[in-house]
């Protein structure tokens, strides 16, 4: 038996009328599950060496709970026993390796691993994710296939209900699946499942965090953290600011913000930043932006912003007379208000 499995999830979810998965909820996903747990799965559900999806019913959950108890996997046994009472479609998703997702339950397990802080952004294979995830109507009655929405709306009206559609998207709200410890989210619809929120993170109403992106420690987020972007501990993204993700112009360059950085209100970032950097409010800095680099002794040199990628202690501002973007040594770093980020 191979004990080096990558991940495991016991889930329940939603299928359309044809039995196609729309979404899956994994209450306690596991990274590198214990050998005893995998052995219990193999003895109950059959042994396999590759990634596999197993459909579960009440009898299957109960049998699995018994096998897990025999292997002293008590926590997982309790979860399987609880899931046996569900009337929703159930599944076990076992990943032998971290390969590109090929089905909805596998994709959702990987998104859960990120939002449960079991893996960090860029620490898991999400190649082809968009092609796997279906477009779903997220409603007051749960996930609904877009093609079945009109009939569901009609049925609800006939029954005297109003079916409210909050979004039509491939990604649901993270908070409907997991709320990580020590975070504050003013508008839950602004954080997608698959976002990674470090403890102490505050996301205000205009903040947004995409999947496979997020904060690595306490941070103030009032701007946009695009797909693939990470923000270091102690940094502040001002209201309306934007970061260019790998899906929106950053291409293969991973945009990141270091520790104790400040991205001013309505500013933008298209290069990676080191630590203790500041971008003036309203200044959009792309990789191709021409920047006048001014040294401490007054020497000036015109360069492209990409030449400063990843460097620390930089202050970017726009000369109010000439309009030129300037870069100087940042002589001070920001300090977040600790009381705002306790989030207990």
- Mapping DSSP to helix (H, G, I), strand (E, B) and coil, where does residue 319 land? coil
Query: Rounded CA gap, 182 and 199, in Å?
Result: 5
Average pLDDT over residues 295-321: 93
Give yes or no for residue 80 having a pLDDT over 50.
yes
Give yes or no for residue 26 having a pLDDT over 70.
yes
Task: Supply the angle between the helices 35-45 and 58-70 in degrees, to the nearest 10.
Answer: 140
* Interval 104-130: pLDDT, tens: 999 999 999 999 999 999 999 999 999
Chain center to CA of 95? 19
Overall size of the chain counted in residues: 344
pLDDT on residue 2 = 46
From 23, 106, 206, 222, the catalytic residue:
222
Residue whose token pair is 């968009």? 130
Give yes or no for residue 184 having a pLDDT over 50.
yes
* Interval 28-75: pLDDT, tens: 999 999 998 999 998 888 876 689 999 999 999 999 999 999 999 999
pLDDT on residue 1 = 40
pLDDT on residue 127 = 95
> Is residue 333 very low, low, confident or very high in pLDDT (cuts 50, 70, 90)?
low
Ramachandran category for residue 182: left, alpha or beta (phi over 0 → left; psi -120 to 50 → alpha): left
222 catalytically annotated: yes
Domains of the chain: 7-132 (3.30.70.2010), 138-169 (no CATH), 174-341 (2.160.10.10)
């Amino acid at each position: 038996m191979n004990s080096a499995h990558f991940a495991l999830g016991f889930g329940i979810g939603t299928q359309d009328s044809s039995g196609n998965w729309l979404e899956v909820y994994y209450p306690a996903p596991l990274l590198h599950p214990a050998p005893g747990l995998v052995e219990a799965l193999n003895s109950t559900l059959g042994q396999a060496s590759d990634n596999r999806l197993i459909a579960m019913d009440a009898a299957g959950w109960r049998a699995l709970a018994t096998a897990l108890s025999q292997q002293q996997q008590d926590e997982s046994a309790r979860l399987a026993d609880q899931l046996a009472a569900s009337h929703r479609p159930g599944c076990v998703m076992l990943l032998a390796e971290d390969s590109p997702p090929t089905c909805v339950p596998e994709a959702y397990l990987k998104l859960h691993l990120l939002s449960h802080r079991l893996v960090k952004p860029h620490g898991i294979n999400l190649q082809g994710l968009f092609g796997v995830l279906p477009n779903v109507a997220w409603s007051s009655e749960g996930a609904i296939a877009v093609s079945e929405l009109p009939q569901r709306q009609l049925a609800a009206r006939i029954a005297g209900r109003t079916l409210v559609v909050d979004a039509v998207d491939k990604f649901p709200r993270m908070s409907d699946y997991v709320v990580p410890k020590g975070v504050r989210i003013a508008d839950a619809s602004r954080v997608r499942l698959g976002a990674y929120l470090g403890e102490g993170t505050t996301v205000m109403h205009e903040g947004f965090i995409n999947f496979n992106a997020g904060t690595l420690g306490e941070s103030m987020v009032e701007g946009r953290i695009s797909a693939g972007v990470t923000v270091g501990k102690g940094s502040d993204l001002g209201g309306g600011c934007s970061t260019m993700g790998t899906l929106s112009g950053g291409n293969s360059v991973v945009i990141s913000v270091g520790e104790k950085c400040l991205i001013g209100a309505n500013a933008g970032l298209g290069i990676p930043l080191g630590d203790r950097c500041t971008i003036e409010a309203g200044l959009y800095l792309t990789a191709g932006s021409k920047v006048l680099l001014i040294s401490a002794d007054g020497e000036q040199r015109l360069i492209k912003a990409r030449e400063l990628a990843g460097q620390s202690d930089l202050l970017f501002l726009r000369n109010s007379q000439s309009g030129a973007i300037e870069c100087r040594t940042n002589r001070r770093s920001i300090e977040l208000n600790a009381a705002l980020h306790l989030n207990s």
